[in-house]
């Protein structure tokens, strides 16, 4: 049996890491308190997420928001996947380079953090993974909108479960928004869930759209942040550059130009 080691964070990130752990404990307790209302028993075993080590040292803090974990009931998502990226080099039955959801996250984060080289110039996901979450390596934040694992064995999103988890997560307290605000991202990339993020974040203000991605401005505390909603990263029949990397970079470049123009006129 593979031993998953706890992630090692720099001292500068420990306070935020602890704050998110406390939030997740409160989230878990909140789900437990709702059990009498008929939530499934597995709502007691949330999947923990947040940010990988050295996220706050990156030149742009990227937060990916997915839908739900698969087969990770009660696990720490970050520890499991960091092991896969760094040493295991497999996600489920697939090699990391062939696991589009995770390989695309690694490739796109690398590209954004390294001045957007051509796709073919970006290292393989397995190579990026060697130093992932380490000093000088790529890092990002990741959270699933639903903290409940899909244990069906089916890769398709369980929207009934996701919707119930999202509703429960915003009963009396908006837990997802609190997590996002703690992560303080410079860029949010969401996996085809803009309709679910509206109730969490409030108004999504249209910024710039392509045929394959939508850019919105969201307000986090006193900051305005760019949110890019794309196809789900595991979507079949979609090309890495045409449907993901290209549109994301295009919207991001418009955002950077917009912010530079605002700075010059202020």
Per-residue pLDDT of the chain (266 residues; tens, 9 = 90+): 467 889 999 999 999 999 999 999 999 998 888 776 666 666 778 999 999 999 999 999 999 999 999 999 999 999 999 999 999 999 999 999 999 999 999 999 999 999 999 999 999 999 999 999 999 999 999 999 999 999 888 888 999 999 999 999 998 899 999 999 999 999 999 999 999 999 999 999 999 999 999 999 999 988 999 999 999 999 989 999 999 999 999 999 999 999 999 888 86
By DSSP bridging, strand 187-191 and strand 62-66 are: parallel
Tell me how far apart the alpha carbons of residues 215 and 209 are, in angstroms, rounded to a whole number.
6
Helix (H) or strand (E) holding 255: helix 246-265
Q: Tell which residue, 8, 52, 15, has the closest CA to residue 140.
A: 52
Shortest CA distance to 58 belongs to which of 131, 138, 156? 138
DSSP state of 266: -
Cβ atoms of 111 and 122 within 8 Å: the answer is yes
Bridging pattern class, strands 187-191 and 223-230: parallel
pTM: 0.96
In the block, residue with structure tokens 């839908």:
67
How far does Cα 249 stand from its chain's mean position? 17
**Predicted pLDDT at 42:** 62
Question: How many angstroms separate the CA atoms of 158 and 244, rounded?
Answer: 23
Q: Tell me the Ramachandran region of residue 54: left when phi exceeds 0, alpha when psi lies from -120 to 50, beta otherwise.
A: left
Check residue 56 and give its pLDDT: 98
- Chain centroid to CA 72: 16
**Could you give the strand order of the β-sheet that contains 213-220, starting from the edge strand earlier in sequence?**
50-51, 141-144, 62-66, 187-191, 223-230, 213-220, 205-209
Angle between helices 175-183 and 14-33 (to 10 degrees): 170
**SS3 call for 183:** helix
Please name which of 199, 232, 235, 229 lies closest in space to residue 217, comparing C-alpha atoms. 229
């Amino acid at each position: 049996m593979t031993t998953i080691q706890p992630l090692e964070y720099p001292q500068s990130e420990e306070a935020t890491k602890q704050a998110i752990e406390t939030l997740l404990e409160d989230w878990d307790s909140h789900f437990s308190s709702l059990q009498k209302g008929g939530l499934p028993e597995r709502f007691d075993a949330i999947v923990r997420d947040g940010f990988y080590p050295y996220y706050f040292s990156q030149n742009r803090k990227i937060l990916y928001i997915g839908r739900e974990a698969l087969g990770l009931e009660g696990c720490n998502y970050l520890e499991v996947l960091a092991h896969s990226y760094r040493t295991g080099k497999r996600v489920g039955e697939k090699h990391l380079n062939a696991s589009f959801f995770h390989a695309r996250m690694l490739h796109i984060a690398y590209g954004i953090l390294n001045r957007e080289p051509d796709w073919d110039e970006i290292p393989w996901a397995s190579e990026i993974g060697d130093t992932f979450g380490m000093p000088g390596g790529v890092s990002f934040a990741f959270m699933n909108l639903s903290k409940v694992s899909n244990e069906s064995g089916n890769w398709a999103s369980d929207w009934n479960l996701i919707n119930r988890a999202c509703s429960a997560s915003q009963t009396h307290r908006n837990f997802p928004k609190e997590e996002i605000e703690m992560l303080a991202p410079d860029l949010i990339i969401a996996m085809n869930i803009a309709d679910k993020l509206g109730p969490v974040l409030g108004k999504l203000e249209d910024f710039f759209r392509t045929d394959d991605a939508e850019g919105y401005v969201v307000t986090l505390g006193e900051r305005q942040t760019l949110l890019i909603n794309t196809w789900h990263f595991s979507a079949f029949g979609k090309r890495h550059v045409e449907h993901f990397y290209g549109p994301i970079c295009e919207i991001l470049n418009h955002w950077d130009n917009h912010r530079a123009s605002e700075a010059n006129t202020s």
